[in-house]
Amino acid sequence: MLTSRLESFQSRADCWVSPQGDDPEVENQENSVERLQRRGNRLKSTTWRQRQKIWHLKEQLRVEREKNSAEKVLEDVCKNMSKQAKCFFKLQVRTVGKDPHGRRYTDEELMYALAIYFQGPRAYRFLVKHFVLPSTRILRKNMQRVRLLPGFHDTVLCVLKEKFKSASETERLCVVSFDEMSVKTKMTYLRGEDMIEGTEDFGELGRSRDRADHALVFMVRGLTKKWKQSIGYFLSAGPTKAAIQKQLLVNCITKLQEVGLTVVATVCDMGPTNQQTYKLLGASEGRFEFEVGGQEVVALFDVPHLFKCLRNALLNYDVTVEGTVVSWNHLMALFHWDRSRKLRAAPKLRMLHLRPTPFKKMRVKLATQVMSRSVAAAMVLYADLANCEADSDGLIVGLNMTAARPERASARPMARLRSDDRVMPEPKVVLDVPVDEVTANCLSYVAGYLVHKANVVCRNCERALVRVDSEVRATADVLTALKSHTGVTKCDVGSLKLPSAVLFEFVRECYVSFSVHARSMLFETKILERLVRCVLASKPATVLASQLRCHPRVLTGIAARYMRLMLHSTCRELSSAAAKSGPRRQSRKLLKLRGL
Distance CA 188, CA 476 (A): 68
Confidence of residue 294 (pLDDT cuts 50, 70, 90): confident
| pLDDT at residue 313, rounded to an integer | 86
Report the range out of 65-74, 235-244, 300-309, 377-386 with the highest average pLDDT. 235-244
Distance CA 381, CA 373 (A): 12
> Bigger pLDDT: 89 or 179?
179
Percent of the chain with pLDDT over 90: 13
Give the list of residues 6+ apart from residue 421 with CB closer than 8 angstroms, or none: none
Tell me the CA end-to-end span of the chain in Å, nearest whole number: 137
Q: Does residue 287 contact residue 322 with C-beta atoms inside 8 Å?
A: no
The C-alpha R_g of the chain, in whole angstroms, comes to 42
**Model confidence over 460-474: pLDDT tens digits?**
888 888 876 645 556
What is the pLDDT averaged over residues 158-178? 91
Instruction: State which amino acid sits at residue 48.
Output: W
Distance CA 245, CA 313 (A): 28
| pLDDT at residue 214, rounded to an integer | 92
Instruction: State which amino acid sits at residue 134.
Output: P
What is the pLDDT averaged over residues 211-220? 92
Least confident of 206-220, 298-312, 411-425, 556-570: 411-425
Q: Does the pLDDT value for residue 18 go beyond 70? A: no
What is the pLDDT averaged over residues 332-345? 81
Confidence of residue 516 (pLDDT cuts 50, 70, 90): confident
- H or E element at residue 155: helix 154-163
C-alpha distances in Å from residue 346, one per residue of 166, 314, 374, 407? 51, 19, 6, 23
Confidence of residue 395 (pLDDT cuts 50, 70, 90): very low
Least confident of 129-133, 448-452, 494-498, 586-590: 586-590
Least confident of 67-81, 443-457, 579-593: 579-593
Q: Does residue 110 contact residue 88 with C-beta atoms inside 8 Å?
A: no
What is the pLDDT averaged over residues 261-281? 91
| pLDDT at residue 312, rounded to an integer | 86
What is the pLDDT averaged over residues 47-66? 86
What is the pLDDT averaged over residues 240-253? 92
Distance CA 361, CA 365 (A): 10
What is the pLDDT averaged over residues 183-212? 84
Q: Does residue 290 contact residue 299 with C-beta atoms inside 8 Å?
A: yes
How many CA within 13 A on the CB side of residue 53?
Answer: 6
Distance CA 467, CA 423 (A): 29
What is the pLDDT averaged over residues 571-579? 74
Question: Concatenated DSSP letters for 68-115?
Answer: TSHHHHHHHHTTTS-HHHHHHHHHHHHHTTS-GGG----HHHHHHHHH
| pLDDT at residue 409, rounded to an integer | 47
| pLDDT at residue 386, rounded to an integer | 36
Q: Does the pLDDT value for residue 433 go beyond 70? A: no
What is the pLDDT averaged over residues 197-206? 86
C-alpha distances in Å from residue 189, one per residue of 118, 146, 192, 198, 234? 25, 15, 9, 9, 18
Query: What is the number of helices (H) and of strands (E) in the chain?
Result: 24, 15
Alpha helices in 355-500 (DSSP H): 364-370, 373-382, 391-399, 435-454, 459-465, 478-483
Q: Does the pLDDT value for residue 426 go beyond 50? A: no
C-alpha distances in Å from residue 452, one per residue of 216, 447, 561? 49, 9, 12
| pLDDT at residue 265, rounded to an integer | 93
Distance CA 347, CA 338 (A): 8
Q: Quick one: residue 324, left, alpha or beta (phi over 0 = left, psi -120 to 50 = alpha)? A: beta
| pLDDT at residue 418, rounded to an integer | 42
Report the range out of 112-126, 327-341, 438-452 with the highest average pLDDT. 112-126
Question: Concatenated DSSP letters for 213-243?
Answer: -EEEEEEEEESSS--EEEEEEEEESSSPPHH
Give the list of residues 6+ apart from residue 311 with CB closer than 8 angstroms, or none: 366, 367, 370, 371
| pLDDT at residue 27, rounded to an integer | 79
C-alpha distances in Å from residue 469, one per residue of 437, 462, 480, 491, 498? 21, 13, 15, 7, 9
Q: Which of 455, 463, 524, 523 is nearest to 498 (CA)?
A: 463
| pLDDT at residue 485, rounded to an integer | 63
Q: Does the pLDDT value for residue 411 go beyond 70? A: no
Q: Does the pLDDT value for residue 430 go beyond 50? A: no
Domains of the chain: which residue ranges? 75-144, 151-300, 305-416, 435-581
